Chains A and B, each alone.
Chain A
């Protein structure tokens, strides 16, 4: 849970941090489309690949304006002022999240990886500082900036959802469940049959328009699961030792199938059982869908009540199904296709 610290202290440290960025020259200025918002990301070092490989499919070539700016600073280029961290070290370590009393500033401090994410929701700007790339866990590469995206969108009609999304001709389904339920396998089974793919792990949902937006072009599979997808084994793969999974970056090889947004038609909760006779859809209650979608989404993002309310509203708004799957991957797109015709 979060701790709260006086906003005047936060503001002073924020200004100190901005002074650091202003003294630097950005080596790369990139723009990305998340939802209908444009994010400018400034990198103050040459190699931005760790942070950009998963979001390369939503990069804009050039843009004059942006809605949010992120400054990414490598520890070898510059240090952030330490007085705030030193002063509140115990609080920052024990709470992980610290928020200013006026809710304007949010600070994530990860002591083990030495990463600081500092967000100012008033100026729509964030600073990400890390001591060294070598200290960052491999899984961070697959969903960069998710906390910043979450905090920016949480106060809007968008919300991040832990799940995958695939579709046909602009219509899509959300695959959601806790890890190990078969989300990634189901999504990749559809990708291998030429379906559109809007992402895995986290997707962005807009309540007003019932639209799912892509965030990350990544899929994660165990080495054993990967052997079932012949075409995927040649992709750029990063090993994730912590999660025992491999990260597959689908851009650029699957560029033509990566879709930025889909209209959501159904929520699907995959359930793998080798003994299942045939792949089939079974209607489930909205409560059961929320039960499968909300806890992992909320826990992974430390989300507020507003996010829970959006997820509950979504589950009540559209059809919800359990997808029973077995080892016959072809059955997954064939079965889901019945929802999109």
Chain B
């Protein structure tokens, strides 16, 4: 069975600017910059593309030897940050490369936690 994830639906907002995505986690008070292939992977996960389908499609299109490991590592980081979680709602969505970068670059997640004290209710 394929592995599928979905975006945490409570308080995770994101915007794709093409070469970078901005993600905000309202519950944790963290925010993130997604660059390289990260925006594309994030959007694919949002569209219910399975991890296996995503890995295979990226490896095939870009011929990048580290692609599968990079995708796995990036997804693990997203899970650790509680931005995505596994879902049992499986679909057969395919990777849509119309918005994918022309060249492969390692998906990067930069994590920022310096504004946690701004979250309402964080200080009582």
Residues of A within 8 A of B (CB): 1, 93, 95-97, 111-112, 178, 285-288, 290-291, 294-296, 298-303, 305, 308-309, 312, 316
B22 in contact (CB, < 8 A): yes
Known: A111-B124, A298-B24. A1 touches B33 (CB 8 A): no
List 18 additional contacts besides A291-B33, A294-B22; criterion CB under 8 Å.
A96-B121, A285-B19, A287-B20, A287-B21, A287-B33, A294-B13, A294-B24, A295-B31, A295-B115, A296-B115, A296-B118, A298-B26, A299-B26, A299-B115, A299-B120, A302-B120, A302-B121, A316-B17
Chain A residues whose CB sits within 8 angstroms of the CB of B26 once the complex forms: 1, 298-299, 302-303
Closest to A111 in B: B124
Task: Give the interface size bracket for B toward A.
Answer: 20 to 34
Pair A295/B33 contact, Cβ less than 8 Å: no
B27 in contact (CB, < 8 A): yes
Chain A residues whose CB sits within 8 angstroms of the CB of B31 once the complex forms: 291, 294-295
Pair A299/B118 contact, Cβ less than 8 Å: yes
Q: How far is the CB of A82 from chain B (nearest CB, A)?
A: 20
> Cα distance A308–B21 when bound, in Å?
13
Chain A residues whose CB sits within 8 angstroms of the CB of B33 once the complex forms: 287, 291
Interface centre among B13, B20, B31, B119 (most CB of A within 10 A): B13
| Binary contact track B68-92/A, C-beta < 8 Å → 1, others 0 | 0000000000000000000000000
Residues of B within 8 A of A (CB): 10-11, 13, 15, 17, 19-22, 24, 26-27, 29, 31, 33, 112, 114-115, 118-121, 124
The interface residues of chain A, by DSSP majority, are classed as helix
Chain A residues whose CB sits within 8 angstroms of the CB of B29 once the complex forms: 299
Q: Could you write out 9 A-B pairs with CB less than 8 Å apart?
A: A96-B120, A96-B121, A285-B19, A287-B33, A288-B20, A291-B31, A299-B118, A305-B13, A312-B15
Chain A residues whose CB sits within 8 angstroms of the CB of B119 once the complex forms: 299, 302
Chain A residues whose CB sits within 8 angstroms of the CB of B17 once the complex forms: 285-287, 290, 316
9 pairs of A and B residues whose beta carbons are closest in the complex: A96-B121, A299-B118, A287-B17, A308-B13, A312-B15, A287-B20, A295-B31, A299-B119, A302-B120
> Cα distance A1–B26 when bound, in Å?
8
Pair A300/B15 contact, Cβ less than 8 Å: no
Closest to B121 in A: A96
Contact of B124 among A112, A286, A301 (CB under 8 A): A112
> Cα distance A242–B88 when bound, in Å?
47
Known: A286-B17, A296-B115, A298-B13. A308 touches B120 (CB 8 A): no
Pair B114/A178 contact, Cβ less than 8 Å: yes
> Cα distance A296–B112 when bound, in Å?
12
